[in-house]
Structure 1
Amino acid sequence: MVSQFTHAARATHLEAVMRILRYLKSSPRKGLYFSKHGHLSVEAYTDADWAGLVTDRRSTSGYYTFVGENLVTRRNKKQNVVARSSTEAAFRAMAQDVCELLWI
C-alpha cells in the first residue's frame, strides 16, 4: 500500500515505512519458511478487481506464484490504463503473471 506513493512520498508515508521497518527489525524469527518437497511444479494464480478505485476507475491486478508448495512471488499493482471490461482487466493481470512465470 505504501509503495504506490514512492514517486511523491509525504511525511505520513515515510512514517508508515519506518513503522514497518521497526516491526520487521523487532521480529527476526518471523519470516517465510521454504519447505523441501520432491516436486518443483510451478503454479500461478491471478485475479483482477475491475475499476475498483472510485477516484480513477483503474483496475488492480494481483498474482501469486508458487514453486512446489512455496510462495515465491506475490504482487498487487494498479493497472496503467482503464479497462473497459472485467475480461480486459483479467487479461491484463494474466499477461503480467505470464511474464513473471517466463522469468521464473
Structure 2
Amino acid sequence: MANPTIVHHSTALKVLRYIKGAPSLGLFYPTDSPLQIKAYSDSDWVSCPDTRRSVTGFCIYLGNSLISWKSKKQKTVARSSCEAEYRAMALTTCEINWLSYMLQDLQHSSFTSALLYYDNQYAIHIASNHVFHERTKHIELDCQQFVNNVIEV
C-alpha cells in the first residue's frame, strides 16, 4: 500500500471488473445454520525475507458461513514457529471475543461455545499450561489477554 506499482493497479482493476461482472455472487448466510463460531488459525514462521517476521492468518465461521478473515505480518520477530503459532492463536482469540460480544449486542446470546482449531502441538501445550516457562516469558506481556481467555478444543 505504501508503494503501489502498475502491477498493483492492474490487479485492482481485475478485481473490480470481476465484482462488476458477477453481482449475483456473494456470501450466503443460511437461516438454518447453527450459531457456533468456528475459527481456524495458522502462521507462517519467518515468511518475510526482509523483516524476518511471521505472517498470521485466520478465518472465522458462524455456522457454515465465513464472517471474518485476516492475513497479516506479526508485529515482532518470533523466535520459533511455536511462538509464531501462539501469537496467531492470540490474535484469533481476540477476534473471536469481539465477534462474540457483537453477537451478544445483537441479542444472539444463545450460541454454543466457540471452537479454535490450530495445528502446533507446542503452542497447544503453552496455551493449556497457564504457567509460563523460562523460554516463553518474553511472550507473556504480548499475549496476556489470550492466556486469560484461552479456548480449549
Shorter-chain TM band: 0.7 to 0.9
Provide the rounded CA distance (Å) in 1 between the counterparts of 2:41 and 2:32. 24
- Alignment: residue pair count: 99
Aligned counterpart, 2:67: 72
Amino acid at match of 1:45: Y
Aligned counterpart, 2:55: 60
Q: Which runs of 5+ in 2 are unaligned?
A: 100-153
Aligned counterpart, 1:90: 85
Residue by residue over 1:1-50, the C-alpha shift from the partner in whole angstroms, topping out at 9 and shown as x without a partner, is: xxxxx222223212211121111111112221112225201111100111
Provide the rounded CA distance (Å) in 1 between the counterparts of 2:33 and 2:2. 43
Candidates 20, 32, 35, aligned match of 2:27? 32
Higher strand share: 1
TM-score for the superposition, normalised by structure 2: 0.60
Q: 1:11 to 1:67 in 2, by over 3 A?
A: same
TM-score for the superposition, normalised by structure 1: 0.84
Maintained 8 Å contact 2:59/2:66:
yes
Q: Tell me the secondary structure at the aligned position of residue 7 of structure 1.
A: coil
Amino acid at match of 1:37: D
Q: What is the CA RMSD across the aligned residues, in angstroms?
A: 1.5
Candidates 38, 44, 47, aligned match of 1:49? 44
Provide the rounded CA distance (Å) in 2 between the counterparts of 1:88 and 1:37. 38
Residue by residue over 1:36-95, the C-alpha shift from the partner in whole angstroms, topping out at 9 and shown as x without a partner, is: 225201111100111122333211111111111111111111112211101110111111
Q: Which runs of 5+ in 1 are unaligned?
A: 1-5
Q: 1:38 to 1:63 in 2, by over 3 A?
A: closer
The structure that has the greater radius of gyration is 2
Structure 2 residue 35 is the aligned partner of structure 1 residue 21 = no
- Range moving further from structure 2, 14-23 or 33-42: 33-42
